[in-house]
Homo-oligomer: A and B are copies of this chain.
Amino acid sequence: MNQKPNESAVDGLPLNTIIDGDCIDVMNTLPENSVDLIFADPPYNLQLKSDLHRPDNSKVDAVDDHWDQFDSFAAYDSFTRNWLKAARRILKPNGAIWVIGSYHNIFRVGTALQDAGYWILNDVVWRKSNPMPNFRGKRFTNAHETMIWASKAEGSKYTFNYEALKAMNEGIQMRSDWVLPICNGHERLKDENGDKAHPTQKPESLLHRVLLGTTNPGDVVLDPFFGTGTTGAVAKMLGRDFIGIEREEAYRKVAQKRIDNLRKYDSDALAVSLSKRAEPRVAFGQLVERGMLRPGEVLTSPRGKEAKVRADGTLVSGEAAGSIHQVGAVLENAPSCNGWSYWNFRRDGKTVSIDLLRQQIRSEMRQRPN
């Protein structure tokens, strides 16, 4: 394990380990408010009544492992509500959860999430570019799975790397439907017999988008149904810490080997496009103080409105006076206005945005903090 525990993490967390046990029992041993993100791929409660066969009579290796049978919806609901409750206790107040499922279980999960006090932020559809066809031709090809993204509570300040996701999507904001291939080829882990090691291994691309978009480097990501450890593998590569919980020894062994053989990406490759919100705040008055703008100087709007700069960093325009934002909003008769992008000044015969001056100050601050 070449990944070190993170400074900001809560003491006593078993970081970057795979824990043997039932996920509810294990989560109940962890400290409350200690985990940044939970990614959960719970059993699907598949309702296959008999073995499914392809048209050529070869048998489909369906999900029929013993852990995936539930007597009734009631049993599944009880199981779901219990693990969601344990998960919510260990989540930090501003933490969030992702749960993935199909129509067999996702409606139970979504209802339980809402009832437990989680606040749904989006449902995200993983649209598979290469799904298994519907061999019998009796239904639509089941070509997607659904993920629910929810914060611990209404009003939580969840992490969302908007600009990074937008950059990843050619400059257009990321939508709630993601087109990604299913996990196969070299990525699909095999056991000693060459069979697939886990029936529902998720693709790393899916976790890449989840972790890049809704965690920061150094965050703690817990996966209560770790399986073959896709969550841990991607977390390690992206410089996040993980905690995995898995009951089946065979899965734990495959996952541990998989993760040990991975390296973390260079940290400069993990830097991500930042939102302007993360930039330090600059008061308009500083431009006046520093002489970048003089009291009495006239600012102009895109549509030719004018305002005069006062010595205290406020503007006057006719009856209106106040901050660059307030005066802009009054002149435009708008509920609000970003004065930084609204106002311009003249230099050497050219019209320049006042935001350019703010950027100068910010770049000075970066070189010499304080």
Contacts and interface: CB of A to CB of B under 8 A. Distances in A.
Interface string A260-292: 000001101111110100000101111011110
A82 interface: no
Interface in A95-136: 102-104, 106-111, 113-115, 120-125, 127, 129-131, 133-134
B167 A138 contact: no
Contacts of A311: 164, 208, 212, 238, 265, 269-270, 272
Contacts of A265: 294-296, 311
Interface stretch (A20-28, A245-253, A332-340): A332-340
Contacts of A296: 265-266, 268-269
A36 interface: no
13 contacts: A57-B332, A102-B123, A104-B120, A129-B365, A129-B368, A131-B175, A139-B160, A140-B174, A167-B312, A168-B285, A212-B312, A271-B310, A273-B312
Contacts of A285: 167-170
A130 B368 contact: yes
A269 B309 contact: yes
B177 A162 contact: no
Contacts of A75: none
A209 interface: yes
A122 B114 CA distance: 23
A113 B73 CA distance: 12
Interface stretch (A4-12, A143-151, A349-357): A143-151
Contacts of A273: 312, 314, 321
Q: How large is the interface on A (under 10, 10 to 19, 20 to 34, 35 or more residues)?
A: 35 or more
Copies, count: 2
A141 interface: yes
A207 B104 CA distance: 24
A303 to B, nearest CB: 13
A181 B125 contact: no
Nearest to A76: B114
Q: List the 7 closest A-B pairs by CB distance, nearest first.
A: A107-B110, A168-B285, A269-B295, A269-B296, A143-B175, A164-B312, A103-B123
Contacts of A321: 273
A209 B270 CA distance: 36
B173 A133 contact: yes
A166 B161 CA distance: 39
B125 A125 contact: yes
A316 interface: yes
A119 B344 CA distance: 44
A165 interface: yes
A266 B321 CA distance: 16
